[in-house]
Structure formats: C-alpha cells, structure tokens
Structure 1
Amino acid sequence: MTSNLLLTAFSGATSGPKLLGIDIVWVATMLAAVGVVAVLIAVYGALTVRDPMAKRVKALNDRREQLKAGITASTAKRRARLVRKNETADRMRTVLGKLQVLQEEQIKDVQQKLAQAGIRSKDLAVAVIFGRLILPILLGGLAVFLIYGVDMWPSLTPFKRAAGTMIALILGYKAPDLFVQNKRQKRTDAIRKGLPDALDLLVICAEAGLTVDSAFSRVSKELGRAYPELGEEFALTSIELGFLTERRQAFENLSYRVNLDSVKGVVTTMIQTEKYGTPLASALRVLSAEFRNERMMRAEEKAARLPAIMTVPLILFILPTLFVVILGPAACSLSDALSGALGGNS
C-alpha cells in the first residue's frame, strides 16, 4: 500500500505536460543533456588542437631516410602488414582477372583519383573496382530479400518494387565511385582555397634567396594548420625534390596528385624556371594575383546565387514562423474579445 502510494506520487511528480503523447519535460531534459555533451566535445576539440600534418610529414621524412639507407621495409610488423595487404589485393585481382573485367587503364585511372583524394595506397584501386562488382550483388540481393522474400512493404506496387530493386543495384555500383569522388572534391576545394596564399609565401621565399625545395618545405610548415591538404602536398613535393634524380618528376607528381588546372599552371612555371632559368618570383606573383582574382570571382558568383537559393527555405521555414509570431498575439486577443462578447450577450 505504502509502496503504491510512493509510486503514484513519484509518477505524478515526474509527469509533465505532453505533446502528441510525448512528455515535454523528458524531451527537454534529453536535449539539454545532448547539448551539454556537444559543448564538452567542442571545448575538448578546441583545447586539444593538433597539427594534422605533423604525423604525415614525419612518416614521409622517415621513409625517405630509410630509402636512402637501402631499407625497403622498416620493421617486421610493417612487412607483415604490407604482405597482408598485397595478399588481399592479389586475391581481388585474381577474381577480377578470371571474370575478365580488369583493365590496366582502368586501374591507372582509379589510382589517380585515389591519389587526388589523398589516398596513397595503390592496392585500393583494385578494391574500388572489386567493390563495383560485389556491392550491387550484396545490396541488390538484400533489396530482393526484403521486398520480395519477406515482403516487408506489402503495400508497394509492382512498379515500386522493381524501382526499389533497381535503385539498390545502381547505388551498389556507384557507391565506391561516389565515395572517392566526394573525398576528391573536398580535397580539391581545400587546396584551391589556399593556393593563392601559398604562392605569395613562395614569392617571399624566392625573393629571400631560398632554394625551391627549401621554399616548398617552409611554405608547407607555415600553411600546415590553415590548409593541411595543401601543406601535405607541398611537403611531399619538397621531399621528392631532395630525393628524386629528376626534379621535373617531382613537379609532375604534384600535378598528378592534385586535380586543379591552376596547380598544373604552377607546375609548368616551375619546370620552365628550372629548365631556362627564368625569374621565379615575378612569374609566381602574376599567378598569385590571377588565382586570387579567380577566387574572388567565385565568391561573388556564390553571393549572387544566394537570393535564389534562399527563396525556398524562406518560404517554407522562416515566413510561417514570422506570421505566427506577428499574428499570434492579435489572434489570441481577437479570440478573447469574441468569447467575452458572446458570453455577455448570452
């Protein structure tokens, strides 16, 4: 009896107003808890900022020293990991070769896209091609099992069932390419934003008398925090300039890894400077001004498109809220006045 009374009192004390059968107090408490956790994560991320390039550049420098010393694999663990990766890639390559769907040009194209996405492993090119083959079977089989096997959605028409199966097949085929293309586009945009600043710093380094590889190394350190992707590419180019026998190959590797016409222009300028001895600072200054103007024009184009883009969210989300805020008090006052008048007449 006493326990039932305590339970009733506790449930009455904790129950609050409900909206659509949901306790508003409970929902507000959960949202507050989620907000506190998000704030803590944001504070932790702000207080523990790390250089995103430090680990990558250190690994590249260590690898360069190992190659100079004639060491092809650093440790037994590294060799075992490389062997496992090669075995997996070899199995995929064998399966694709038996099915006669593997072409050398296709592998080279995927390897370049992976390099432009910041993925250095060439074995993943075979994995991407293998994913194009196996994912449609998996996703298509799952869709057929759910739609036709267990009949999870019995209200679907035959056309919708066939369309759902086709969408699963197409999504399975395109998923690896979409993943690589998304990473590639994000990395390209990040490099495009920092390229004018990088060229300005290269001009300063060239006028200060630094060599090209020292200038690339210095710029990579200065831009490592603001533009880690561009800093990583410049650091790798600096290492290759000091390691490769032909400096031209290092610049060509930079244009191979970055999907930007502006980077190809910088590479052409660097190659001509190395070959003919033309002034580097003046050429880079012209390119920097051109890329900066291009970036400003791109920003102005996005700003000009903004009113058209904001029209639909404005109509769907902002205007109804504005009408409720403005007309809500007037409607409540009018309703109270009408109810009072009707009550007085009765």
Structure 2
Amino acid sequence: MLVLIALTFFLSVVCLTIGIRIERERSSPLARLQRQVQETRELSPEEMELRRPFLARLVGPIAQRVLRLVARFSPPGLKDSIRRRLQVAGNPWRAHSEEVIFAKIVLAATGTFCGFALGTTVLYKKPEEALLFALGGFATGFLLVDWAILQKTKQRRKQIQRSLPYVLDLLCVSVEAGLAFDAAMQKVTEKVEGPLSQEFQHVAYEIRIGKPRRDALRDMRDRCAVEDLNTFVAAIVQAERLGLGIGQVLRVQADLMRNLRRERAREAAMKIPVKMLFPLVFLVLPALFVVILGPAVIQMLGSLGAGGH
C-alpha cells in the first residue's frame, strides 16, 4: 500500500513537471512569434480546403450541383419573386433564391413522407386515406419557408416602424447642429442599432461610391416596404428637388412620426378590452364559477342526499 502511494505521488510530480515545462515553452516569446507567423502566412488552396469541416467538404460539391440544376429549371419569375421577398425580409439567412427553392422542395418531400407515415403507421389509415395526410404534409412543408419569410418581414417592418421616430429626431438634431445630411446618416448608424440603421449605412455607402442620393433613398424604400419610411423618403426627395431646407423637412417628418406612433399606441390600447373578452368569457369566468359555486353545489347535493335518507 505504501509503495502504491509513493508511486502515485511520483507520477503526479512527473506529470506536473512536464505540464509546467510545456506551458512555459508555449508561452515563450519565440513560440508566440512562430504562431503569429504561422497564422499570418498565406495558406495554399489545399490547406484552406483541408481547414473546412469534413461534412462541408463532402456535401458542398453535391449541393452546388443541385443548386445549379434548380437555377436552370426554375422559372425566372419565381426566382425574382423570392429574391424580392428575401430583400424585404432583410435576408436573415443570407440565402439565394435557388437555395430557397431547393429548401421548399426538400421540406415538401419530407412533409409528404411524414404525412403518409403518420397516416399509415400511427393512425392506421388505409393508403388511400393516408394520401390526404401526405397532401397536407406536402402543403405544410412547401409553405413553411414562405411562412418563415413572412414572419421575418413582419418583424423587420415592426422594428423599422418603431425606431423611425427616434432616428428622425437624431437626424434632425444632427442636421440642425451643422452636419450635412450624409454625415448625419453616418452618425445615426453609429448611435442606433437595428435594421433601419443598417439601411441608412447602406444608403451612406452607396452615396459615397457615387450613386445619387434620391436613387439610394428610393432603393432603401423598395428594400424596406414600410409606409412610414415611404413618406419620409418622398419628403426628402421632394425637398431636394425643390431646394427646401433639409432640417425643416426633417423636423416636420419627426413630428409626424411621433404623432403616428402616439396614435398607434392609442389604437392598440383601445383594442385590448376586445381581445380580453373571449379569454375572460371562455376561460376565466368558468373557472371562477367552479371555484365559487363548486363547494355550494357539493354541499347542496349532500344535503339533498341526507334528506332523502
């Protein structure tokens, strides 16, 4: 037993010494310099390919061929429509229209298989009846991507609509403080986060590379498809065309957006009683009646039973 303890202690000391030695070698200036040189040197195409995950190297070429086939046989109108919807949604997945079409096909096939399997194995339906479940699974899988894009679009529009009054106030203050409109947009992108700030950053970049301001603003309007933003862009373009002061136009637009936000909040508050009516009638009141009248009913039934005896 004593020999075993001594041997364990000896091995622990040896492992600790080796670990300290390795850590010192790794943290030495020469080792750090070698790692920096290794990281900053230009990698060959073979090394860059080997750094990719194995699954990506295996599936990537197959996926590229499938996407090329999808792009070849997809109608141009469908691709343009999906590209437009992705643009309005902010393209959160950084996907191309061909990838969306391929995802719809895969999900539709998966939904068809799952629906047929559900009908035949779980619900024990006949194959003819299970075809209805397969059809439902096909429709669900095919429309799932469209539903996800629609939800992202609604979320993005709501974020833009909520942040627009604050952004216009900041733009107005910056312009009245002496900044040009382009510099004021750049200041907004530094102070505000969200999809509207990203759109303003995109507009400022397009203006810097030589695109006319009115065209850049109109492109932003088309990308966002928000009614309040359309009003703002139309006012700025009209002011630029007529030579009006941008600061005054921004002040009017900021006041207008604040009033619209106040009216929307008031409208949402007036809808709350109507939305609370159905849960109150069908969920809260029945439970309340059971809690209040339940003991009385039980006591009354007990009294009637005792009176009968």
**Considering the TM-score relative to the shorter chain, is it more than 0.5?**
yes
| Aligned residues of 1:112 and 1:256 also touching (Cα < 8 A) | no
SS in 2 for 1:254: helix
Contact 2:115 2:136 in 1 (8 A): no
Which residue in 1 is equivalent to 2:293? 327
Deviation at 1:254, TM superposition (A): 1.6
Q: 1:111 aligns with which of 56, 76, 83?
A: 83
**CA deviation digits over 1:62-85, x for unaligned, max 9?**
xxxxxxxxxxxxxx969x98x989
Distance 2:130 2:60 in 1: 41
- Name the structure 2 match of 1:179: 148
- Equivalent of 1:132, from 89, 104, 108? 104
User: Which moves more between the two structures, 276-285 or 289-298?
Assistant: 289-298
Shift of 1:178: 0.9
Say which of 68, 91, 102 aligns to 1:94.
Answer: 68
Could you tell me how far 1:329 is from its partner in structure 2?
A: 5.4
Maintained 8 Å contact 1:89/1:123 = no
Spell out, residue by residue over 1:225-261, the C-alpha distance to the aligned partner (whole angstroms, 9 max, x if none): xxx2222322333333333443334323321321212
Secondary structure of 2:140's counterpart equals: helix
Q: Measure the CA separation in 2 of the matches of 1:153 and 1:281.
A: 67
Distance change (3 Å), C-alpha of 1:197 and 1:145: same
Distance 1:162 1:113, change over 3 A: same
Which amino acid counterpart does residue 319 of structure 1 have in structure 2?
L
Out of 148, 153, 160, the position equivalent to 2:123 is: 153
CA shift at 1:330, angstroms?
4.6
Per the TM alignment, residue 269 of structure 1 is displaced from its structure 2 partner at its CA by 2.8
User: Structure 2: which amino acid aligns with 1:314?
Assistant: L
Q: Using the TM superposition, give the Cα deviation of residue 276 of structure 1 relative to its aligned residue in structure 2, in angstroms.
A: 4.2
Task: Name the CA shift for 1:97/1:119 in 2 (closer, same or farther; >3 Å).
Answer: closer
- Displacement of 1:168 after TM fit? 0.7
1:208 and 2:177 are equivalent in the alignment: yes
1:36-91 Cα shifts (integer Å, max 9, x gaps): xxxxxxxxxxxxxxxxxxxxxxxxxxxxxxxxxxxxxxxx969x98x989967753
Larger helix fraction of residues:
2
Q: CA RMSD in A?
A: 3.6
Q: 234, 259, 269: which is aligned to 2:235?
A: 269
Which structure would you say has the larger Rg? 2
- 1:121 to 1:303, Cα distance in 2 relative to 1, 3 A: closer
* SS of aligned partner of 2:74: coil
TM-score relative to the length of structure 1: 0.62
- 179, 189, 213: which one aligns with 1:220: 189
Asked whether the equivalents of residues 144 and 165 of structure 1 are also in contact (C-alpha less than 8 Å), the reply is yes
Structure 2: gaps (5+ residues): 1-46
1:258 matches 2:232: no
State the TM-score, normalized to the length of structure 2: 0.69
- Residue 249 of structure 2, aligned match among 283, 297, 300: 283
SS of the residue aligned with 2:225? coil
Matched, 1:296 2:266: no
Structure 1: runs of 5 or more not aligned:
1-75
Residue 72 (structure 1) aligns with: none
Higher RCO (CA < 8 A, seq sep 6+) = 1
User: Which of the residues 253, 258, 274 maps onto 1:308?
Assistant: 274
Q: Over residues 272-324 of structure 1, what are the superposed CA-to-partner deviations in whole Å (9 max), with x where a residue is unaligned? A: 44444321122222223333333333333333333332222112221123224
| TM-aligned CA deviation for residue 139 of structure 1 | 1.4
Out of 223, 227, 238, the position equivalent to 2:204 is 238
In structure 1, what residue type is equivalent to 2:200?
Answer: F
For residues 307 and 147 of structure 1, the distance between their equivalents in structure 2, rounded to whole angstroms, comes to 42
Aligned positions, number: 258
Contact 2:185 2:200 in 1 (8 A): yes
Partner residue of 1:163 out of 132, 156, 159: 132
SS in 2 for 1:209: coil
Q: Separation in 2 of the partners of 1:248 and 1:90? A: 38
Shift of 1:127: 0.9
Q: Percent identity?
A: 27
2:279 and 2:222 map into 1 onto residues whose CA distance is 40
| Distance change in 2, residues 1:77/1:303 (3 Å) | farther
